[in-house]
Structure 1
């Protein structure tokens, strides 16, 4: 029995789904959405806030401010509400409407940066807004998820350690890549403790997290328009990039079987399916980390009108025919 006294104390439900029944994949899916923030981002958010409090960076008049495409913003909103703090989430038009509504419901302020920078990057524009805000207001505290070591340390100490305990025969691990916190925390842990495990990073087409040409991306969560400082490609065995249409297809296939998962989760599962198609029985025990659940994507990847707006009619027909 788990008993908590504050919302931010519930971090990991330790729930796995065996996808052999639903998708025919020899894969266990580690579901990270069963907490009050609805995603894996609760772990680094708690760690970053606690580290800042311990280091004296957060005082009674402090206002947390952070750039986020969605899930971390919700996590920090939960923590701020739980701890009686103020929080400003700086996001952009790609953030799901349900996500911004959630952040506001927890009492936080949402700032939507509508204009990208000269290179077309909303990420750079969001970070520029945060820097400017901190320069104007000395009470504003930027945790900076993009460079904060507490981001990956949370996953080194929690996510990876739990995986090692639950799967002593683990040999292949699929991890989505956003800021790189989950990926680097798990990669560092297993490189130190079980270096034989294959670490497969999952990225979105159009992301430059592992070099490559930038391109349009409409599903928030994974990928980045600029290299992420936390990521060390040398710790990764393989990188798989996924088209967003394939992400949507996978999410809808799972929803048709009663499993409503988020875009980041659908991307990771798609990558695992493609890897198995090429490698067959090259693994004994494989796990994929599913960062989020699907409720906040109801108006986007589960909505035909939204899909039709951002993708071609052929893409929409493919999704509708095969879901």
Structure 2
């Protein structure tokens, strides 16, 4: 066994685990390390940043850790504008790794939290133009790091027929995987998972009465989300995500985060609906930061066999706790979509033509 040069190289790749006959999980310790290493290496190689650069970005957790690791490996400085969801364990790691971290005040909504973090970054850039904003939400350099993950999936279980399930978030993980997998097999299906309250696929009008599922939704437009890559979209509530995370641990001993619970519910259903198709879902991180908010509440977890989505044909029909829609690789502009208080009323060009 050859030693790794840095811990980031050791933890960047997922473990591919078979859960059922045609159901697999790509289980990451922390998902965004692969893409962040590739992005920073590309910036250095192209000369966009120098060896004395300070890299800055906003994060609710996973990306902050990935960026701090990348900066540690390459000897760069790192500054994170974080949300209050950055817990003490992660905060201590970031600071010991050499990153400077500031947290915005807690906000009642995802929109206010993300907007405040971005506004703070713009203030910092105005004061110091030598900072380099990584823009995980907008710079497509973050797509490049997922090609090796796609190669690992192909080596492990081939890519035809295959469905990939993952939280949408910035769009890079699921989008990068789909792009790489479809280079060999265009029929690979991509299923995106969203929280209620996210505008990315037109659900900003429905707030989850639970908590914000950090990292897989958005309250501001993300340029890295390429809507035309997605075949289906599922919106999953906090309570159902909790139930999925508990079931994943109980049934398969996989200790993963809240978004992984959402993806497990969706992937489990898809695998059972089509036994001839392999289904792999992304478990973006471990369950450690969800111990109190999710796993300590395991007794109220619902039986996953009793949970099913409501199939919708229009964004006007979105409803809690779980909605599913055939997206049909349609284009969509969330910035032009204006949901009304009692439903979704969109300009004629805003809602996609959907495959049913």
- TM-score (norm: length of structure 1): 0.83
Q: Which residue does 1:259 correspond to in 2?
A: 254
Q: Give, in whole Å, the separation in 2 of the partners of 1:317 and 1:256.
A: 12
**C-alpha displacement of 1:243:** 0.8
Report if the CA contact (8 A) 2:270-2:279 is conserved.
Answer: no
Which stretch has the larger CA shift, 209-218 or 44-53? 209-218
Q: Deviations over 1:120-174 (max 9, x none)?
A: 421121111112101101332111111111111211x212222222222442221
Matched, 1:186 2:177: yes
Relative distance call for 1:287 and 1:121 in structure 2 (3 A) is same
Q: Give, in whole Å, the separation in 1 of the partners of 2:276 and 2:196.
A: 26
Q: Which residue does 1:218 correspond to in 2?
A: 212
Q: Which residue does 1:108 correspond to in 2?
A: 99
Q: Which residue does 1:288 correspond to in 2?
A: 281
- 3-state SS, counterpart of residue 172 of structure 1: strand
Q: Which residue does 2:300 correspond to in 1?
A: 318
**C-alpha displacement of 1:118:** 11
Among 70, 73, 92, the residue aligned to 1:79: 70
- 3-state SS, counterpart of residue 199 of structure 1: strand
Among 35, 40, 57, the residue aligned to 1:66: 57
1:69-218 equivalences under 5 Å are: 69-114=60-105, 120-155=111-146, 157-168=147-158, 169-214=160-205, 215-216=207-208, 217-218=211-212
Q: Which residue does 1:250 correspond to in 2?
A: 244
Q: Give, in whole Å, the separation in 1 of the partners of 2:230 and 2:303.
A: 35
Structure 2 gaps of 5+ residues are: 305-356
- 3-state SS, counterpart of residue 217 of structure 2: coil
**C-alpha displacement of 1:12:** 4.1
Which stretch has the larger CA shift, 237-246 or 132-141? 132-141
Which stretch has the larger CA shift, 65-74 or 242-251? 242-251
Relative distance call for 1:163 and 1:120 in structure 2 (3 A) is closer
Q: Which residue does 1:312 correspond to in 2?
A: none
| Aligned length in residues | 300
Q: Deviations over 1:262-310 (max 9, x none)?
A: 1222221122134356xx2354322112111112322332234xxxxxx
Q: Deviations over 1:243-276 (max 9, x none)?
A: 1111111212233353211122222112213435
- 3-state SS, counterpart of residue 194 of structure 1: coil
- 3-state SS, counterpart of residue 183 of structure 2: helix
Report if the CA contact (8 A) 1:7-1:79 is conserved.
Answer: no
- 3-state SS, counterpart of residue 303 of structure 1: helix
Among 267, 276, 297, the residue aligned to 1:272: 267
Q: Give, in whole Å, the separation in 2 of the partners of 1:118 and 1:250.
A: 23
Q: Give, in whole Å, the separation in 1 of the partners of 2:302 and 2:162.
A: 35
- TM-score (norm: length of structure 2): 0.76
Q: Give, in whole Å, the separation in 2 of the partners of 1:212 and 1:138.
A: 35
Q: Give, in whole Å, the separation in 2 of the partners of 1:119 and 1:29.
A: 28
Structure 1 gaps of 5+ residues are: 34-38, 305-315
**C-alpha displacement of 1:320:** 7.9
Q: Give, in whole Å, the separation in 2 of the partners of 1:153 and 1:5.
A: 21
Q: Which residue does 2:341 correspond to in 1?
A: none
